[in-house]
Amino acid sequence: MLRELIDEQGWLLADGATGTSYFAMGLQAGDAPELWNVDSPEKVSDVHREFVEAGADIILTNTFGGNRYRLKLHAADNRVHELNAEAARIARAVAQESSRQVLVAGSMGPTGEIFAPVGTLTHDEGVEAFREQAEGLKEGGADLLWIETISSEEELRAAVEGAGTVGLPIVSTMSFDTNGCTMMGVTPQGFGQIARSLSPQPAAIGANCGVGAAELVATVLGISESRRDTIIVAKGNCGVPEFVDGHIHYSGTPELMADYARLAIDSGARIIGGCCGTTPEHLRAMRTALESHERGERPVIQDIISRLGEVSKLARGEAIAIQGRSTRRRRSQR
Amino acid sequence: MSEEDDLDLNELDDEELVQQMHDDLYDGLKEEIEEAVNILLGRDWAPYRVLTEGLVEGMRIVGIDFRDGILFVPEVLLAANAMKAGMFILRPLLIATGAPRVGKMVIGTVKGDIHDIGKNLVGMMLEGAGFEVIDLGINNPVENYLAAIEEHQPDILGMSALLTTTMPYMKVVIDTLKEKGMRDDYIVLVGGAPLNEEFATAIGADAYCRDAAVAVETAKEFMARKHNQLSANA
């Protein structure tokens, strides 16, 4: 489905920020946006509609924290199915209004728990939580499942396996926010390799959120370096957060995000969107940029830095991350 | 667990054993740390010396490699767990011997945010640096912070948020402290992936800590300033 649409248009535009949009509509810091799927569905529809009107081909449901572990914080862990199904119905209804084909992607964020062996959540518990969420999303009419902001390989595997039980295509993105790696130390290239062994195979993989548009494009370069054979997603933040007049504001301008979209295409991404701070205005600028953009040469890191801003040492090639292994001697080797 | 081990910690002299503790902390070997702590105590080392030369120094090395992107969260968690096992033995002895305290911190993840990985790391690294840490866990409304401040009278309040949707809540807590006229009684440190220095300044925190290693350095720095001020005023 994604492949055909991409073949047709050359790329697909995913939507922008949900959480930061809800703040503007009165969401209080600390409250669960997912409860709005039942309590204020019209606000959820409005955000979707604005992004569709701005040119989104894919909209993500309001279910980022819709798994039982996150909903437990709001004493709503017994409402996983309901909140996810409602969210997918809301998005589906908005998608149907459009004359273009708009896909509904069921957003699935991390549990927030640490997986075994370092943490306590088992693989099976993780699979079960993601399966439960995926079933709700499917029932509500999601076209595909969109696993995002994942940091650890263990959670990635559990999420893909759990989502895979309902038979919808899966998109899976990780968040690279720590020295060019995920918080748990996965490199962009490493993610590309890990994704090969996922079951079922995701229809697309990529990066979302993280630390600004420049690093996101650098991450896409890393993923595409190890994987030329898959659809790659770029869903980066709109610059970095600032606090202005009591509100979170992201530093990126529409012009910057337009250039980010062009660079993401040149770096190998085929599905482009925005994460935190990306408004419909930004998305519109990205659409216009993509429509007039001829795919250019693969950029080098210097191009990204000069056009979008600074990147991590790892992305600059100045630091080599050593994954999951100490460089110091162990007792048995002495 | 490690049958291939041919190394007997008892055979190492003090200096080698402390070196070995640093390596074992780095590798997250909990049982070896417990054993080494007990051996040093058996050799009449003061608990405070075991803490500073063994655990604190070992965790400092871990912190440097974490900051530099050589180690990541999983390895640091294992190291911190090993450190905690050593602390578990030392804590009652430290209290009994009246060892000096570096400082006291109340730390918690703000309301709505489930992510406590970063917060746990900061707490453990600060313990590793000799601080007393009171961990409020996740999802804390402002009332929890106020109650803990009242009860424990910390030097530092630490808040963590990992989500764009929860980070503004840090300002709610700081504003409440201001309203009550308590803000200047405490050092407020904030952290979390989406934050930055400018954000911390804008919401009225004393500092933003990029990661757990930076948090330890910042906390120590503020404690030193606090002590200097106290002695200047005395």
Query: For chain B (length 234 residues), average pLDDT per consecutive 10?
Result: 68 96 96 97 95 91 87 90 93 84 92 78 86 92 96 96 82 96 96 85 93 91 88 72
pLDDT 10s digits, A267-304: 999 999 999 899 999 999 999 999 999 999 999 999 99
Q: Report the CATH superfamily, name and number, of domain A2-333.
A: Homocysteine-binding-like domain (3.20.20.330)
| Residue B114: alpha-carbon gap to chain centroid | 19
Binary contact (B112, A31; C-beta < 8 A): yes
Measured distance CA(B199)–CA(B215) in Å, rounded: 16
With an 8 Å Cβ cutoff, are A152 and B74 in contact?
A: yes
Are A226 and A192 within 8 A, CB to CB? Answer: yes
Percent with pLDDT over 90 in chain A: 79
| Residue A228, token pair as written in the block | 């030329």
Rounded Cα distance, B129 and A21, in Å: 41
User: Are the beta carbons of B202 and A244 separated by less than 8 Å?
Assistant: yes
The pTM of the whole model exceeds 0.90: no
The shortest C-alpha distance from B90 to chain A (Å) reads: 23
Flag whether pLDDT at A320 surpasses 70: no
Report CB contact under 8 Å: B72, A185. Answer: yes
Test A328 with B203 for CB contact under 8 angstroms: no
So what's the pLDDT on residue B228? 85
Above 60 in pLDDT, residue A327?
A: no
Q: Tell me how close the Cα of B65 comes to any Cα of chain A, in angstroms.
A: 10
List the single residue in A with minimal CA-CA distance to B81: A118
Q: Are A111 and A67 in contact (CB under 8 A)?
A: yes
Largest CA distance in chain A: 69
Provide, as residue numbers in chain B, all residues whose Cβ is less than 8 Å from the Cβ of A240: 196
Backbone dihedral region for residue A167 (phi beyond 0: left; psi -120 to 50: alpha; all else: beta): left
Long-range contacts, B45-49 (Cβ 8 Å, 24+): B45/B14, B46/B97, B46/B99, B47/B90, B47/B93, B47/B94, B47/B97, B47/B99, B48/B94, B48/B97, B48/B99, B48/B100
What is the DSSP code (8-state) at residue B210? Answer: S
Tokens encoding A221: 């370069």
The proportion of chain A whose per-residue pLDDT surpasses 70, expressed as a percent, equals 95
DSSP string, A56-76: -SEEE-S-TT-SHHHHGGGT-
Cβ neighbours of residue A275 under 8 Å, at least 6 residues apart? A16, A17, A208, A209, A210, A235, A236, A237, A238
B164/A241 CB distance under 8 A: yes
Pairing mode, strands B187-191 and B156-160 = parallel
A242/B165 touch (CB, cutoff 8 Å), yes or no: no
B180's CB contacts (< 8 A; 6+ apart) are B146
Residue A329: its pLDDT value, please?
44
For residue range A173-198, what is the model confidence (pLDDT) as tens digits?
999 988 899 989 999 999 999 999 99
Contacting residues of B for A238, CB less than 8 Å apart: none
ipTM of predicted assembly, 2 dp:
0.76
Rounded to a whole number of angstroms, the distance from the CA of B75 to the nearest CA of chain A is 7
Chain B residues touching A20 at Cβ < 8 A: 164-165
> Which residue from B4, B70, B141 is facing A322, i.e. has the nearest CB?
B70
Where does the pLDDT of residue A332 fall: very low under 50, low under 70, confident under 90, or very high at 90 and above? very low
CB pair distance less than 8 Å for B72 and A33? no
**Contacts of A119 by beta carbon, 8 Å cutoff, 6+ apart:** A113, B77
In terms of Cβ atoms closer than 10 Å to its own Cβ (0-12, 13-18, 19+), residue A201 is middle
Closest to A46 (Cα-Cα) out of A13, A12, A22: A22
Out of B2, B164, B202, closest to residue A20 by CB: B164
Angle at which helices B169-179 and B142-152 cross, to 10°: 50
Mutation choice for A interface testing from B163, B171, B198, B201 by most A CBs within 10 A:
B163
pLDDT confidence of residue A47: 97
Residues of A with CB below 8 A from B73's CB? 118, 151, 178, 183-185
User: The tokens of B176 are what?
Assistant: 């409440």
Whether A181 sits inside 8 A of B69 (CB atoms) is: yes
Residues of chain A with C-beta less than 8 angstroms from the C-beta of B7: 331-332, 334
Per-residue pLDDT at A331 exceeds 90: no
Cβ–Cβ of B68/A319 closer than 8 Å? yes
**Which residues, 6 or more positions from A283, have their beta carbon under 8 angstroms from its beta carbon?**
A13, A15, A16, A51, A54, A55, A56, A257, A273, A274
Cβ of A314 within 8 Å of Cβ of B69? The answer is yes
Is the pLDDT at A322 greater than 60? The verdict is no
B197 alpha carbon, distance to own chain's centre = 20
**Statement: residue A201 has pLDDT above 50:** yes
The Cβ of residue A136 has, within 10 Å, a number of other Cβ atoms equal to 24
Pairing of strands B207-208, B187-191: parallel
User: Does residue B101 contact residue B69 with C-beta atoms inside 8 Å?
Assistant: no
Any idea what DSSP says for residue A95? H
H or E segment and range at residue B107:
strand B104-109
* Nearest-angstrom CA–CA distance, A232 and A224: 7
d(C-alpha B206, C-alpha B209), whole Å: 10
Q: What confidence score (pLDDT) does residue A153 get?
A: 96
What is the distance in angstroms between the Cα of A126 and the nearest Cα belonging to chain B?
A: 15
Contact (CB<8Å) B23/A329: yes
Question: What whole-number distance in Å separates Cα of residue B223 and Cα of residue B102?
Answer: 8
Q: What is the pLDDT of residues A26-56, one digit of tens each?
A: 888 778 999 999 999 999 999 999 999 999 9
Paired residues of A85 in beta bridges? none
Give residues with Cβ within 8 angstroms of B197, minimum separation 6.
B208
E strands, B110-186, are: 132-135, 156-160
Residue A27: list chain B partners with CB under 8 A. 165
Closest-CA distance, B224 to chain A, in angstroms, reads: 29
pLDDT band for position A261 (50/70/90)?
Answer: very high
Residue closest to A271 by CA, chosen among A207, A179, A194, A210: A207
How far apart are the CA of A290 and the nearest CA of chain B, in angstroms? 27
| Of residues A32, A69, A240, nearest to B112 (C-beta) | A32
Cβ pair B167:A248 closer than 8 A: yes
A15 alpha-carbon distance from chain centroid: 10
Q: Which of B26, B73, B139 sits opposite A183 (nearest CB)?
A: B73
Summarize the confidence of residues A154-162 as an average pLDDT: 98
In A, minimum Cα distance to B169 occurs at: A29
